[in-house]
Amino acid sequence: MKIVTADEMKRIEKMAFEEGFSENQFMEIAGTRVGEYVHDFAEKNKIPKKVFLLVGKGNNGGDAYVAGMYLLQKGYTVEAFHLAELEDSSPLNQFYCERFIENGGRVEFLKDIKNLSLPSTGLIVDGLLGTGFKGQLEGLYLDVIEIANDSCLPIVSIDIPSGVNGTTGIVQTKAIFASMTVYLGMAKMGFFINDGWNHVGKLVYADFGLSEKFLELAKEEANLFTDENVTLPKLIRKRHKYQTGYVIGIAGSPKMGGAAKLSALASLRAGAGIIRLFYPENSISEMENAPLEIVKNPFNLEDFDPILQELKRAKACFIGPGLGREEHTKRFLYNFVPKIAVPTVFDADALYLIDNDSFPKGSILTPHHKEMMRLLKIESVKDDDELYEKCQAYAKKYQLVIVLKGAPSVIFHYENKPVIIAHGDPGMATAGTGDVLTGIIAAVLAQNVEPYQAALLGVFLHGVAGEWAAEKKSSYSLIASDLIDMLPLVFKQLQLQVGKIL
């Protein structure tokens, strides 16, 4: 799915209206879809059937009224707080406000916050401001947003949390902290960058009837990887472990064996048929309790011929987790990396020890933001936009696939637009989850998936595993191995819902 700026979304909608599409019909569909998502959210979370609409004067408020009418039909008590005089609101806003009242809804036209009272149960639908909002909030809007955020009621935002810039993601003063955002038409860039990601909550898509013709005309800033993009590697019935996918791992060092073991075990759980883990011989004691399924190979950093021999039949390699940053390790990589002839994932310490122009073309690099800044040889950027531009230029210059780990993670490819994968959980910000990602991507690579697609699928699997692990346990107590434990269930679910195979 394309990710666009707020102005580009406005341009596409204008084109549709000029060709005769009804704005009224779009609002009917959009508002109904929002109502359906609100109902599902309330049912899933056992929320009482009480909904409070926060309504601005624009068409976003009209969407809220349509959603409110749907919820009235479902037996909800729905009350609206309208932050403008009705005659100052958009024509469609006025029309649906009147229909909402006719259907049994109650509207309070707020002039100040004295009349805004939110109980401790129910939920809020945010229809204050749309994606076209720019600038700073003040006055009544600012007060209402503060009250909504402080209420502790879950908030469902329509298209974007009010107060977030739809293009830049910047929040100048305050913005709604949504539990869920129902976005319309196409995803907006502001969801994913700067302040936006902290405000949107769970993102769900509502198709409001914009035809494919207009979506194809949109000029995207990036693309969003969704469940519909998932393609699993093909399973052949007659095969052996080397055909399934042979991964070589070069990782670990004294006191850092855990990173290597996490990557190796993640590779196995992500479909590798065999993982052979090479680690410096001074780390033997660190690896004694490695899982039985991992083939362990200590090696001398001065003699890497045994690794080269195994690479002749391997399908993929990962280098870096827990490897250390000693000078002798750097010398080893300087001599070894140019001889690699299989698709490789470089992570962690390898990103510190290898020069930019020494990574083999087509390799996958998995830096977090600090590591990426080091690769770029810069100390700071003004915002996410600037960082993404530099990452794209870096990928193009060195012909690499860059997985910029973060919330959300972004994949940069030397020939494609950036791809954002909006899966993951705050609990994944814990030691070792990056090592798990490295192992997952290497396993997908080893199953004859080309590097760009392997990076996309690997990050998706990693993010979904994190979400499911957090749901089963808790975001507060998540550890890296929880993701590995969840991978079999993620694959099982994907097998049921995904018909595509590579």
Asked if residues 103 and 45 have their Cβ atoms less than 8 Å apart, the reply is: no
* Final residue before a domain boundary, out of 169, 192, 221: 221
Ranges in the chain, pLDDT < 50: 501-502
| CA 96 vs CA 55, 76, 159, 470, 475: distances in Å | 11, 18, 18, 40, 40
Boundaries of domain holding 96? 2-221
- Rounded to whole angstroms, how far apart are CA atoms 73 and 85? 26
Asked if residues 422 and 229 have their Cβ atoms less than 8 Å apart, the reply is: no
Please check whether residue 259 lies inside any domain of the structure: yes
Residues 282 and 355 in one domain: yes
Residues 257 and 211 in one domain: no
- Using DSSP's 3-state secondary structure scheme, residue 77 falls into strand
Residues 402 and 338 in one domain: yes
Residues 161 and 23 in one domain: yes
Angle at 46 between CA 106 and CA 145, to 5 degrees: 50
Look at residue 181 in the predicted model and tell me its pLDDT: 99
Residues 204 and 315 in one domain: no
- Rounded to whole angstroms, how far apart are CA atoms 245 and 448? 8
Q: What's the total number of domains in the chain?
A: 2
Look at residue 496 in the predicted model and tell me its pLDDT: 86
- Rounded to whole angstroms, how far apart are CA atoms 166 and 188? 6
Look at residue 67 in the predicted model and tell me its pLDDT: 99
Look at residue 502 in the predicted model and tell me its pLDDT: 45
* Final residue before a domain boundary, out of 221, 250, 266: 221
SS3 content of the chain, % helix, strand, coil (to 5): 45, 20, 35
CATH number, residue 384:
3.40.1190.20
Residues 174 and 252 in one domain: no
pLDDT tens profile 417-464? 999 999 999 999 999 999 999 999 999 999 999 999 999 999 999 999
Residues 365 and 400 in one domain: yes
- Rounded to whole angstroms, how far apart are CA atoms 127 and 115? 18
Residues 93 and 189 in one domain: yes
CATH number, residue 166:
3.40.50.10260
Q: Extract the tokens encoding 44.
A: 């899933």
Please check whether residue 231 lies inside any domain of the structure: no
CA 181 to chain centre: 14
Please check whether residue 235 lies inside any domain of the structure: no
- Rounded to whole angstroms, how far apart are CA atoms 344 and 365? 9
- Rounded to whole angstroms, how far apart are CA atoms 183 and 210? 13
pLDDT tens profile 387-417? 999 999 999 999 999 999 999 999 999 999 9
Residues 167 and 287 in one domain: no
Residues 114 and 197 in one domain: yes
Overall size of the chain counted in residues:
502
Residues 183 and 261 in one domain: no
- In this structure, the number of other CB atoms found within 10 A of the CB of residue 415 comes to 8
**pTM across the whole model:** 0.94
